[in-house]
């Protein structure tokens, strides 16, 4: 192997570190005054940067060292990659998006304070500090080790150079500097990984060649003697995502208040993590088949199979140099994230709560930012000094294991709170008591209290303790709340719901189950409305596919029955195509027929074909494709029901008519295929749930559109009704006009007036009836109208003036606008001014106001509409924004005006409140639109 000149090595390292410093300076060249800016980058990072900083924070030198585990476990270690990906999808779908509702939170401790009080925040801060210090020491050790092995640089020198660089840009730039430097580091890792991987695969003839050359002890999955134990440990470790609540990861989840960004961050992060970790394992596999020294004495260090494999792959030191640079990048990305998190939680979770407890005054943003910088500088310097003195040999493994053992005490109650369970301090204390009792009981059963340090079945034991503690939590929760209490959070609202178990409720539930067959047509119709599909396109596609499948030319009894099944599928699809020709008596059952066809054509027939010819990978692929197509067409509940029924029916039918399944289907590649299908099923279920939540959001747009249409339609119809009444009354007051021509004109005009009045009254009746089912009607309207609107930042003064202009002919003399300083807000430009005009019309027409004052306060970000009208009675004031609520005795009022106004303002990112004085000399009403 040819060596590289030391000057070139030092130049490469210097260039990489300078690039990080330059990017860190560029990201933070503006003076950071706001603590929110320093801690969370103002919650305004691009999606790509969010993905890279999440991956950079999660990856560590330990993940490179973990590649050496395949020397012991073989390719079974790939299970870890599968579980990490599953855990990322789980967090990105259910947990991380809910954190956008906690806009005041900046750390894990803040979240604990929200749910369980300041004591929980301080405890979480202390645990977070200990965990972060342990991670910093581990990363410094890994980086120093690789530098010494590859570049020959002393551990002390690496600690000083790398540590100084990280401390400088982390202290000065905060989250922006940390996040943007993560981009540089992860680009280096991705580029290097793919390059080394391509060379390694060339050595063994690709991935297929690698698995052919691996011995049975390394290539086997399900025959591995430790398969079940390893699978259980991986499941517990990653299905309950403890890692997601370490300080820097929580900061990444809080760094944006956009749900879409949060989901993309975790989904794309899952892909990149799988790519990088999978590549590491495959490169290590190349080393195994090539006879590379495994270094079994130190299988957990970075100088194991992966490093030796990279040495083997290249005749020059360039590749080894690149590999060391990749490990350096991974180490720095983790160090800067945890170092920055230490400074934030030191201020937010320890200093401020303690000052509050002692009755000391709170700090402003400037002071919090200053002390966060000081904390980062002090902690970073301390770690540098310790690392330099010890030669980066300091370890906190025992401390890390203790934190890993007791992390569920903080994490599991926190997850319950985020998912919507009502929390309180007593329930959390009950969880802690249950956890400690379970821990000591298990230790007594095993015979030692130090079982956790041996790593034997750690996942199983921790799962047992966690489940016992969670049961205790629920028991205390039920006692505290006299039932199951949940919290539903919206963008600007929080509502609570209490479910009290009762025999009456159980009877209602049983009755609901019994009557499900009778309600199936109605349920199917509702599902089709909330999840619109293209039945014609689907039927044409599936019929074409079945016809092509019939032309396979194969013969035999099994093939005959398969073709019979395809014929049934074609018949069902033709029934869908002829929807317009269905008899009127059958049309109510079309929705049920549609879901029956879906279940037959996708999960049922796909499962039958796979069970008959499981040895063909094509059939497994078609089965997976059928499940994917089903997830695209329906929501999660329907997907789950149709899949279970379809696959279950296929399995039972296959065993009844063609005998038991062959034994080989449960072995080797077939079982791997089944496992992949199960993972795919879970992933598709998550995807369909994501699609369902998007449909719920569109349904909310329905309500806005319904309010707008019903309100405007009712106003127009009443104008017609009034015009007809006025004409009719005018003719009643006049005598019969003299002359034949005059009489004809009179009767013609009178008939027209009576028709106009009757028509308007009929329209009011229809509108009044239609509003009861307005949501179904606007399932179509939502996509066509408000679905195309996007929030844009517009001037409040401009929007208010536009709203006044729309009603200028009615109330132009009454309105006075005061705008000392304007501000901008993200609103719906085409709809928001309409809400303002409706608010003004309400004040003038219903409130009988003679003066309407509009005041724009840029500092508070509020718009106040104040009138001197008759006011609103206090008994109806809490209900004025409810949809279809009206205090008018006239049944023709739809009660949608103020509900529409509130919904539009909430969609625009604000909220509206009302204060009113009624029954006094100087009655008045104020509507405050708040964008703070």
What is the Cα gyration radius of the chain? 34
The token pair that represents 175 in the structure block: 């989250």
At 130 the pLDDT is: 86
3-class secondary structure, 467:
helix
At 923 the pLDDT is: 81
Structure-token match 């996007």, residue found: 790
Q: How confident is the model at residue 669 (pLDDT cuts 50, 70, 90)?
A: very low
At 781 the pLDDT is: 39
C-beta of residue 620 within 8 angstroms of C-beta of residue 610: yes
Rounded to an integer, the average pLDDT of 429-449 is 88
Write the pLDDT tens digit of every residue in 143-182.
Answer: 888 888 888 888 888 888 888 888 988 888 889 899 999 9
Q: How confident is the model at residue 785 (pLDDT cuts 50, 70, 90)?
A: very low
At 764 the pLDDT is: 53
Pick from 273, 278, 247: nearest CA to 52: 273
Structure-token match 């009557």, residue found: 515
Within 290-419, where are the H helices? 305-313, 318-345, 352-357, 365-390, 397-406, 408-419
d(CA 639, CA 44): 36
Q: Which residues of 418-444 are buried (b: 16+ CB within 10 A; e: fewer)?
A: beebbbbeebbbbbbebbeebbeebee
Q: How confident is the model at residue 671 (pLDDT cuts 50, 70, 90)?
A: very low
DSSP H or E stretch at residue 43? none
Inform me whether the pLDDT recorded for 385 exceeds 70.
yes
Instruction: Provide DSSP, 873-886.
Output: -TTTGGGTTSTT--
Instruction: Provide the CA 160 distance to its chain's centre, in angstroms.
Output: 40
Task: Evaluate the CA torsion angle 513, 517, 522, 525 in order and state its sign.
Answer: positive
How many other CB atoms are there within 10 angstroms of residue 199's CB atom?
15
Write the pLDDT tens digit of every residue in 692-712.
Answer: 555 555 555 555 555 555 555
Supply φ then ψ for residue 578, to 5 degrees.
Answer: -95, 30
Write the pLDDT tens digit of every residue in 395-423.
Answer: 665 666 677 778 888 888 999 999 889 89
Write the pLDDT tens digit of every residue in 548-601.
Answer: 777 665 666 667 777 888 888 888 988 888 887 888 888 888 888 888 888 888
At 700 the pLDDT is: 52
The token pair that represents 377 in the structure block: 């500088």
- Going from the C-alpha of 338 to that of each of 127, 198, 335, 373, 511, the distances in angstroms are 13, 33, 5, 14, 55
The token pair that represents 62 in the structure block: 């330990």
Weakest-pLDDT range from 114-128, 231-245, 449-463, 816-830:
449-463
d(CA 500, CA 503): 10
Structure-token match 């390394």, residue found: 218
Inform me whether the pLDDT recorded for 672 exceeds 80.
no
At 304 the pLDDT is: 67
Write the pLDDT tens digit of every residue in 803-817.
Answer: 877 776 666 567 777
Write the pLDDT tens digit of every residue in 331-355.
Answer: 899 999 999 999 999 999 999 998 8
The token pair that represents 197 in the structure block: 């991987």
C-beta of residue 400 within 8 angstroms of C-beta of residue 134: yes
At 750 the pLDDT is: 60
Rounded to an integer, the average pLDDT of 810-829 is 74
At 244 the pLDDT is: 84
At 714 the pLDDT is: 54
Write the pLDDT tens digit of every residue in 285-334.
Answer: 888 888 777 654 444 454 567 888 888 887 677 888 888 899 899 989 99
Instruction: Provide DSSP, 755-811.
Output: HHHHHHHHHHHHHHHHGGGHHHHHHHHHHHTGGG---EEEEHHHHHHHHHHHTHHHH
C-beta of residue 55 within 8 angstroms of C-beta of residue 225: no
Mean of all residue pLDDT scores within the chain: 76
d(CA 228, CA 185): 36
d(CA 259, CA 262): 5
Inform me whether the pLDDT recorded for 778 exceeds 70.
no
DSSP 8-state class, residue 348 = I
Share of the chain above pLDDT 70, in %: 73
Inform me whether the pLDDT recorded for 741 exceeds 70.
no
At 657 the pLDDT is: 72
C-beta of residue 431 within 8 angstroms of C-beta of residue 413: yes
Share of the chain above pLDDT 90, in %: 11
Q: Which residues of 375-408 are buried (b: 16+ CB within 10 A; e: fewer)?
A: bbbebbeebbebbbebebebebeeebbbbbbbbb
d(CA 299, CA 281): 14
């Amino acid at each position: 192997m040819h060596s590289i000149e030391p000057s070139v090595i030092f130049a490469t390292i210097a260039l990489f570190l300078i690039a990080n410093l330059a990017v860190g300076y560029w990201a933070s060249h503006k003076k950071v005054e706001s603590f929110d800016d320093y801690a969370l980058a103002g919650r305004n990072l691009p999606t790509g940067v969010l993905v890279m900083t999440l991956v950079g924070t999660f990856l560590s030198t330990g993940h490179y060292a973990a590649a050496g585990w395949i020397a012991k476990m073989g390719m079974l270690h790939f299970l870890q990659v599968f579980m990490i990906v599953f855990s990322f999808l789980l967090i990105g779908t259910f947990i991380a998006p809910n954190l956008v509702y906690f806009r005041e939170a900046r750390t894990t401790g803040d979240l604990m304070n929200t749910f369980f009080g300041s004591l929980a925040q301080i405890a979480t801060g202390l645990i977070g500090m200990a965990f972060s210090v342990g991670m910093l020491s581990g990363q410094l050790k890994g980086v120093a080790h690789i530098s010494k092995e590859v570049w020959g640089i002393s551990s002390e020198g690496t600690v000083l150079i790398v540590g100084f660089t990280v401390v400088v840009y982390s202290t000065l730039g905060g989250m922006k500097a940390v996040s943007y430097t993560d981009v540089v580091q992860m680009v280096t890792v991705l580029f290097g990984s793919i390059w080394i991987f391509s060379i390694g695969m060339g050595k063994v003839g690709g991935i297929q060649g690698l698995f052919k050359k691996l011995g049975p002890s390394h290539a086997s999955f399900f025959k591995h003697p430790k398969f079940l134990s390893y699978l259980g440990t991986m499941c517990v470790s990653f299905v309950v995502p403890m890692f997601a609540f370490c300080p820097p990861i929580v900061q990444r989840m809080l760094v944006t208040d956009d749900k879409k960004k949060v989901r993309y961050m975790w989904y794309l992060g899952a892909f990149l993590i799988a790519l990088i970790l999978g590549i590491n394992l495959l490169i290590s596999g190349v080393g195994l088949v090539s006879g590379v020294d495994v270094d079994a004495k130190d299988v957990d260090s970075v100088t194991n199979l992966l490093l030796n494999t990279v040495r083997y792959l290249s005749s020059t030191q360039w590749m080894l140099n690149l590999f060391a640079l990749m490990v350096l990048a991974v180490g720095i990305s983790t160090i800067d994230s945890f170092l920055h998190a230490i400074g934030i939680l030191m201020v937010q979770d320890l200093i401020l709560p303690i000052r509050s407890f002692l009755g000391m005054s709170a700090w402003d943003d400037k002071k919090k930012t200053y002390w966060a910088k000081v904390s980062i500088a002090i902690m970073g310097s301390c770690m540098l000094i310790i690392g330099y003195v010890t030669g980066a040999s300091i370890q906190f493994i025992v401390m890390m294991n203790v934190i890993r053992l007791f992390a569920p005490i903080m994490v599991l109650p926190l997850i319950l709170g985020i998912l919507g369970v009502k929390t309180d301090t007593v329930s959390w204390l009950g969880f802690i008591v249950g956890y400690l009792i379970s821990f000591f009981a298990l230790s007594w059963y095993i015979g030692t209290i130090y079982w956790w340090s041996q790593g034997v079945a750690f996942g199983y034991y921790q799962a047992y303790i966690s489940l016992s503690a969670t049961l205790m939590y629920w028991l205390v929760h039920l006692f505290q709340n006299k039932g199951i209490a949940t919290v539903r959070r919206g963008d600007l609202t929080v509502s609570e719901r209490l479910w009290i178990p009762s025999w009456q409720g159980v009877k209602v539930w049983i009755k609901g189950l019994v009557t499900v067959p009778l309600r199936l047509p109605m349920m199917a119709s509702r599902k089709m409305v909330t999840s619109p599909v293209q039945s014609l396109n689907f039927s044409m596609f599936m019929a074409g596919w079945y016809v092509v499948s019939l032309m396979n030319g194969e013969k035999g009894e099994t093939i005959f029955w398969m073709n019979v099944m395809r014929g049934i599928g074609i018949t069902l699809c033709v029934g869908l195509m002829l929807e317009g020709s269905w008899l009127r008596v059958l049309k109510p059952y079309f929705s049920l027929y549609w879901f029956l066809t879906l279940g037959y054509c996708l999960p049922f027939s796909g499962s039958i074909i796979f069970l008959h010819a499981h040895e063909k990978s094509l059939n497994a692929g078609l089965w997976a494709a059928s499940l994917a197509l089903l997830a695209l067409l329906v929501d999660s509940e329907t997907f789950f029901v149709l899949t279970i029924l379809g696959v279950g029916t296929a399995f039972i039918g296959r065993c009844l008519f063609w005998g038991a399944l062959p034994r080989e289907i449960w072995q080797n590649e077939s079982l791997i295929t089944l496992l992949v299908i199960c993972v795919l099923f879970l992933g598709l279920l998550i995807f369909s749930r994501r699609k369902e939540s998007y449909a719920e959001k569109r349904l909310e747009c329905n309500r806005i559109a319904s309010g707008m249409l019903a309100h405007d339609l009712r106003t127009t119809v009443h104008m017609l009704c009034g015009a007809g009444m006025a004409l009719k009354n005018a003719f009643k007051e006049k005598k019969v006009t003299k002359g034949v021509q005059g009489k004809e004109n009179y009767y013609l005009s009178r008939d027209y007036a009576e028709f106009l009045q009757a028509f308007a009254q009929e329209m009011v009746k229809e509108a009044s009836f239609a509003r009861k089912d307005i949501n179904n009607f606007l399932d179509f309207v939502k996509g066509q109208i408000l679905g195309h609107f996007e929030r844009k930042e517009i001037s409040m003064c401009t929007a208010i003036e536009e709203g006044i202009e729309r009603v200028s002919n009615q109330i132009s003399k009454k309105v006075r606008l005061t705008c000392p300083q304007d501000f901008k807000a993200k609103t719906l430009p085409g709809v928001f001014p309409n809400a303002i005009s409706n608010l003004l019309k309400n004040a003038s027409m219903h409130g009988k106001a003679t003066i309407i004052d509009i005041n724009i306060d840029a500092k508070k970000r509020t718009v106040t509409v104040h009138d001197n009208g008759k006011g609103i009675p206090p008994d109806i004031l809490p209900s004025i924004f409810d949809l279809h609520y009206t205090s008018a005795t006239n049944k023709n009022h739809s009660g949608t005006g103020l509900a529409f106004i509130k919904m539009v303002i909430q969609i625009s990112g604000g909220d509206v409140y009302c204060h009113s004085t009624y029954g006094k000399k100087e009655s008045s009403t104020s509507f405050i639109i708040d964008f703070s």
